[in-house]
């Protein structure tokens, strides 16, 4: 029994009353397409139909593949979801005998129908509204938090399984869902290729299975909220079945356009997020941190201790979307825990005393100049000296202040981190170049071996073709010779057989003539013998009183008048001349006469020829027939002798050619076997050489790849620290000499 196809389910849904076992679904009406047929949404594992029952709508999920433990899994999922509160899930019911298709019951999933917009389409529709996308990112974090609290993993987080309904995210399609009761089993699916860790397999079936795909979605939303052009630049969208990343971007052995573009983004926080996410590619799927606040679980060597508890340290609240605004990335760094700092505080006694002193001195100098107690030059000199002293003193006080020292410390840290970034960029570049050179060297070695293989292949095929051509030519030549021998022998045999047939035909005609003459003579003798006997007997048999059909006494009288009184006088034409006798009655008279003759001959025993007369006639022809038989035997013996002579002549010639053909085949086979053996040895040597080249390169490439991964992890940590430093420095934007002077000048 084959599993139903999509068209089988579509046909069954045309009559819900007979096809469904669920009473509600029996009364349902499926949504129809333009042809008036139930409209399916078909994926890799199921076809989904929208049906309406009264004012309620349901999604009927019809499975396209059969899994032996499907019912047990859905029972476990159902039981677990009933015990936890996860707002992003929808109500569903698994029915093992839900739909009747071609006389057999199959399982279905009856799920609450959600009116929502697929995630990718929602993002695309709101690219011009960054606040909406920021809210979406925060909502996504809440979804992941709720899944974590509920100890549930969806298993296939991707744009097609996430709907935005009434500004809330809802998850659908629970075929790959993990709950604790399923621990130890393998997954029946490994999720959408553009959302899953490259190393994920069916054995990766636990609570961590959503971690990587959750990061894919989160970083995509965050990035386009800051840089909407990334959506088009990276060819994202519903039809492309991806957000910003594809499966190829997750291949560490290949260059990734997405990571290159995000890594060069003008916003440092986006660079940091991209670098952190890229470092996850070098981890096992189970080691990828959750997007809900466990980033510190990553070991970034000595830098791990300074990475913050990402996201969890800040309570996420949902803001109202206020329409398009100027792009701002500060909200991303808002999730990073910052140092709580105060501005310039204190009474500033020394600074203000100095300012008052300067004011008094300036007033005294102006008074002295006005009263001419001091000259203008002396007053100017004293003012300049006082101004320089005050500037130096205030600068000293400013640079000795706590806010300045903290800001300066952050600036120094930033310079150090930038230096580390440049160093790591240089190291990664150098290691990448070395890695590329190693791969290039391996590639050149493989290409060289490939050229050797091509040369060996070419030589092998040329020699093989030459052997096959030589065999074909010689076989053709010998076949022509053998054919000529067989044709000549056949023509000779045909001539002899034709001669035999002609001679036998002549003898057969002679024998037949003798037999015909004998039989004729025997028949004539028998006829004469019977005629004499019958003539005498028929004269004694009168017509009067004879029982002849259709012949009465009147006709017998007329026959007597015509001279026909006995059976001997009966003659067809003679009786026809008698009045009243036509063809039928004449035939009756002649039939009666024939019966009388047969009865007479039978009674007298004269139906066969007299044996003496018969033997006399037979002996007359037996001698001639015997001579013909002897002549036939003589001709047959002569032809057989000639055929044997022909066979004895042609057979040695035929055998000689056949021997040559056999020897040719054996020699060619031996040469081909030797050629193939040499080809296999040469190919095996090249395979070994290829393995040696790859083994030599593999260790180096593995080491360099590991180094690149480690450096990229360190770079990710550095970028993260730089982003945090940028955020912290933004808190010191008012820590300037001008603001310091304004502060101390304000009493």
The mean per-residue pLDDT over the stretch 332-342 comes to 46
Alpha-carbon distances of 531 from 210, 524, 627, rounded to whole Å: 124, 10, 35
Rounded mean pLDDT of the chain?
84
* Residue 422 C-alpha from the chain's centroid: 46
Domains of the chain from N-terminus onward: 1-113 (3.30.200.20), 115-337 (1.10.510.10)
- What does residue 594 show for φ and ψ, rounded to 5 degrees? -65, -40
The mean per-residue pLDDT over the stretch 732-742 comes to 82
Alpha-carbon distances of 167 from 60, 223, 225, 325, rounded to whole Å: 24, 20, 16, 19
Burial zone of 325 (CB within 10 Å; 0-12 exposed, 13-18 middle, 19+ buried) = exposed
Distance between CA atoms of residues 736 and 398, nearest Å = 9
End-to-end, the C-alpha distance of the chain in Å comes to 93
Residue pair 154/126 in contact (Cβ under 8 Å)? The answer is no
Residue with tokens 């309570």, as numbered in its chain: 315
Report CA Rg, the chain.
Answer: 59
What lies within 8 Å, CB to CB, of 435 at 6+ separation is: 701, 704, 705, 708
Burial zone of 24 (CB within 10 Å; 0-12 exposed, 13-18 middle, 19+ buried) = middle
- What does residue 423 show for φ and ψ, rounded to 5 degrees? -65, -45
Question: Per-residue pLDDT tens for 275-301?
Answer: 778 878 877 888 888 886 444 333 333
Residue pair 693/449 in contact (Cβ under 8 Å)? The answer is yes
Please report, rounded to a whole number, the percentage of residues in the chain having pLDDT higher than 90.
Answer: 33
The mean per-residue pLDDT over the stretch 80-86 comes to 92
The mean per-residue pLDDT over the stretch 651-658 comes to 91
Question: Per-residue pLDDT tens for 694-720?
Answer: 898 888 888 888 887 788 778 777 777
Q: Find the largest Cα–Cα distance for the chain.
A: 213
Query: What pLDDT is recorded for position 354?
Result: 84
Angle at alpha carbon of residue 258, lines to 256 and 260, rounded to 5°: 70
Query: What pLDDT is recorded for position 747?
Result: 63
Question: Per-residue pLDDT tens for 409-420?
Answer: 889 998 998 898
What lies within 8 Å, CB to CB, of 680 at 6+ separation is: none
Query: What pLDDT is recorded for position 238?
Result: 87
Query: What pLDDT is recorded for position 341?
Result: 47
The mean per-residue pLDDT over the stretch 554-568 comes to 86
The mean per-residue pLDDT over the stretch 638-643 comes to 89
Question: Per-residue pLDDT tens for 122-167?
Answer: 999 999 999 999 999 999 999 999 999 999 999 999 998 999 998 8
Residue with tokens 């003679």, as numbered in its chain: 574
Residue pair 358/390 in contact (Cβ under 8 Å)? The answer is yes
Query: What pLDDT is recorded for position 292?
Result: 63
Q: Which residue, 282, 363, 337, 315, is CA-closest to 706? A: 282
Instruction: Pick 605 or 135 by higher pLDDT.
Output: 135
Question: What confidence tier does 669 reach under pLDDT thresholds 50, 70, 90?
Answer: very high
The mean per-residue pLDDT over the stretch 67-83 comes to 90
Residue pair 84/151 in contact (Cβ under 8 Å)? The answer is yes
Instruction: Pick 746 or 258 by higher pLDDT.
Output: 258
| Cα atoms in the Cβ-side hemisphere of radius 13 Å centred on 394 | 24
Beta bridge partners of 171: 162
The mean per-residue pLDDT over the stretch 77-99 comes to 91
Query: What pLDDT is recorded for position 254?
Result: 67
The mean per-residue pLDDT over the stretch 634-663 comes to 90
Beta bridge partners of 41: 48
pLDDT(406) > 70:
yes
Distance between CA atoms of residues 404 and 489, nearest Å = 121
pLDDT(236) > 90:
yes
Question: Per-residue pLDDT tens for 23-51?
Answer: 989 899 999 988 889 998 887 788 899 99
Distance between CA atoms of residues 106 and 91, nearest Å = 21
Question: What confidence tier does 540 reach under pLDDT thresholds 50, 70, 90?
Answer: confident
Residue pair 685/455 in contact (Cβ under 8 Å)? The answer is no
Distance between CA atoms of residues 166 and 188, nearest Å = 32
Q: Which of 318-332, 369-383, 408-422 bottoms out in mean pLDDT, i.e. has the lowest?
A: 318-332
Query: What pLDDT is recorded for position 621?
Result: 83
Question: Per-residue pLDDT tens for 241-253?
Answer: 999 999 999 886 5
Query: What pLDDT is recorded for position 293?
Result: 47
Dihedral, 466, 468, 474, 477 alpha carbons, nearest 10: -110
pLDDT(332) > 60:
no
- pTM value > 0.85: no
What lies within 8 Å, CB to CB, of 134 at 6+ separation is: 225, 319, 331
Helices 402-538/583-604 angle, 10° precision: 80
């Amino acid at each position: 029994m084959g599993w139903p196809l999509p068209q089988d389910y579509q046909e069954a849904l045309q009559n819900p009353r007979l096809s469904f076992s669920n009473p509600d679904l029996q009364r349902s009406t499926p949504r129809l397409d333009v042809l008036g047929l139930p409209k399916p949404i078909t994926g890799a594992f199921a076809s989904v139909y929208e049906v309406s029952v009264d004012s309620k709508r349901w999604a009927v999920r019809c499975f396209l593949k059969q899994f032996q433990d499907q019912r047990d899994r859905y029972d476990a999922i159902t039981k677990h979801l009933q015990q936890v509160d996860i707002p992003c899930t929808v109500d569903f019911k698994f029915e093992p005998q839900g739909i009747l298709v071609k006389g057999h019951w199959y399982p279905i999933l009856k799920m609450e129908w959600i009116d929502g917009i697929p995630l990718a389409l929602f993002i695309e529709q709101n690219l011009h509204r960054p606040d909406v996308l920021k809210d979406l990112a925060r909502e996504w974090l809440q979804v992941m938090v709720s899944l974590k609290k509920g100890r549930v993993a969806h298993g296939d987080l991707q744009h097609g399984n996430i709907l935005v309904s009434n500004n809330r995210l809802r998850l659908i399609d629970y075929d790959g869902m993990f709950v604790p009761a399923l621990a130890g089993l393998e997954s029946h699916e490994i999720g959408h290729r553009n959302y899953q860790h490259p190393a994920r397999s069916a054995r990766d079936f636990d609570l961590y299975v959503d971690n990587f795909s959750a990061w894919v979605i989160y970083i995509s939303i965050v990035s386009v909220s800051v840089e909407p052009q990334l959506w088009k630049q990276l060819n994202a969208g519903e039809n492309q079945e991806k957000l910003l990343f594809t499966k190829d971007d997750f291949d560490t052995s290949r260059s990734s356009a997405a990571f290159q573009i995000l890594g060069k983004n003008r916003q440092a926080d986006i660079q940091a997020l991209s670098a952190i996410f890229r470092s996850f590619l070098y981890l096992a799927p189970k080691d990828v941190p959750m997007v809900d606040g466990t980033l510190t679980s990553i070991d970034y060597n000595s830098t791990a201790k300074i990475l913050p508890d990402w996201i969890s340290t800040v309570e996420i609240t949902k803001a109202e979307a206020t329409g398009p605004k100027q792009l701002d990335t500060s909200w991303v760094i808002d999730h990073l825990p910052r140092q709580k700092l105060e501005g310039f505080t204190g009474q500033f006694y020394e600074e203000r005393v100095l300012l008052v002193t300067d004011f008094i001195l300036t007033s005294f100098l102006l008074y002295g100049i006005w009263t001419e107690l001091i000259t203008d030059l002396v007053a100017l000199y004293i003012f300049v000296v006082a101004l320089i002293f005050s500037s130096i003193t205030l600068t000293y006080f400013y640079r000795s202040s706590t806010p300045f020292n903290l800001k300066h410390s952050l600036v120094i840290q930033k310079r150090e981190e930038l230096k580390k970034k440049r160093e790591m960029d240089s190291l990664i570049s150098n290691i990448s170049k070395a890695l590329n050179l190693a791969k290039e060297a391996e590639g050149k070695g493989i290409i060289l071996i490939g050229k050797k293989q091509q040369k060996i292949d070419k030589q092998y095929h040329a020699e093989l073709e030459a052997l096959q051509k030589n065999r074909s030519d010689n076989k053709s030549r010998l076949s022509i010779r053998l054919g000529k021998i067989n044709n000549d022998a056949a023509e000779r045999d045909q001539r002899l057989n034709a001669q035999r047939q002609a001679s036998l035909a002549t003898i057969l005609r002679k024998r037949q003539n003798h037999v015909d003459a004998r039989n004729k003579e025997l028949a004539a003798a028998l006829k004469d013998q019977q005629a004499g006997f019958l003539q005498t007997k028929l004269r004694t048999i009168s017509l009067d009183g004879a029982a002849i059909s259709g012949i009465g006494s009147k006709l017998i009288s007329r026959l007597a008048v015509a001279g026909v009184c006995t059976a001997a006088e009966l003659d067809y034409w003679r009786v026809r001349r008698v009045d009243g006798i036509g063809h039928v009655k004449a035939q009756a008279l002649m039939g009666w006469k024939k019966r009388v003759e047969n009865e007479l001959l039978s009674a007298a025993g004269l139906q066969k020829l007299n044996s003496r007369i018969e033997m006399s006639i037979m002996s007359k022809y037996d001698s001639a027939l015997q001579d013909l038989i002897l002549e036939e035997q003589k001709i047959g013996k002569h032809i057989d002798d000639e055929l044997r002579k022909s066979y004895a002549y042609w057979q040695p010639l035929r055998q000689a050619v056949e021997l040559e053909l056999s020897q040719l085949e054996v020699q060619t086979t031996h040469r081909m076997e030797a050629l193939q053996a040499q080809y296999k040895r040469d190919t095996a040597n090249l395979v070994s050489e290829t393995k040696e080249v790859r083994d030599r390169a593999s260790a180096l490439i593995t080491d360099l790849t590991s180094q690149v991964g480690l450096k990229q992890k360190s770079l990710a940590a550095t970028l993260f620290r730089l982003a945090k430093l940028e955020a912290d420095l933004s808190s010191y934007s008012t820590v300037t000499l001008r603001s310091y002077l304004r502060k101390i000048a304000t009493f």
